Amino acid sequence: MLFKKPSQDTPDPKPRPSRRHRRAEATRRHALSPLRILVMVLLLPLTTVLIATGVFLRLSEFEREEAVIHLIALAGCDATQSLGVGPFYEGQAGYHKRNDPDGDGVACGAASPSRATAPQVHNSPEPQQRSLGTAKFVRP
C-alpha cells in the first residue's frame, strides 16, 4: 500500500488552535509586552501624584482653587512668586509654617524695609532654637 489512511486512534500532531485560543494568546502577548510594562513602570510616579492631588483636592478644607495654591505653596515661595500669588497669612490657603522664617504669621511675604536695609545680627553666643511639635530646629 502506497498511501496509508490515518487511523482515528492517533491524534493529530499539531492541532489547529481555535479562534478563541488564538485571540487569548494575542491578548496575553499584548498585555505582557516588555514595552507596555516599561511604559507602565515609568508612568507610575505620575499616576501616584495625580491620584494624591485628586484626593487632596476633594478632602481639603479649602475651595478647589485655594487648595491648588496651597499645594503650589508647598514647593516654596519661588513657585508662588512665579505665579504672582502671595503673601499668605496664617490660617489661610497657601500658608505653611516653613515658608514663614521669621514666625510673624505671613508666609512668602516681602521682607520688611528694616530687614531689607540692615542685615540681622545675632549677638547671643548660642544659635536661636525653634521647635515645631517635638522637633527642634537650630537657626544659623
In a domain, 126, yes or no: no
In a domain, 15, yes or no: no
pLDDT tens-digit profile, the chain (140 residues) = 566 665 566 666 777 889 999 999 999 988 889 999 999 999 999 999 999 999 998 998 888 888 888 888 888 888 888 888 878 898 888 888 888 888 888 988 765 433 444 444 445 555 555 655 666 666 55
Work out the angle between the directed axes of helices 64-74 and 44-59 (0-180°, nearest 10).
130
In a domain, 29, yes or no: no
In a domain, 2, yes or no: no
pTM over 0.75: no
In a domain, 80, yes or no: yes
Strand-strand pairing, 129-132 and 106-107: unpaired
Which H or E run includes 46?
helix 44-59
What whole-number distance in Å separates Cα of residue 73 and Cα of residue 108?
Answer: 9
Domain hosting residue 80, numbered range:
34-108
Count H helices and E strands in the chain, helices first: 6, 4
Domains: count for the chain: 1
In a domain, 75, yes or no: yes
In a domain, 86, yes or no: yes
In a domain, 27, yes or no: no
What whole-number distance in Å separates Cα of residue 68 and Cα of residue 62?
Answer: 9
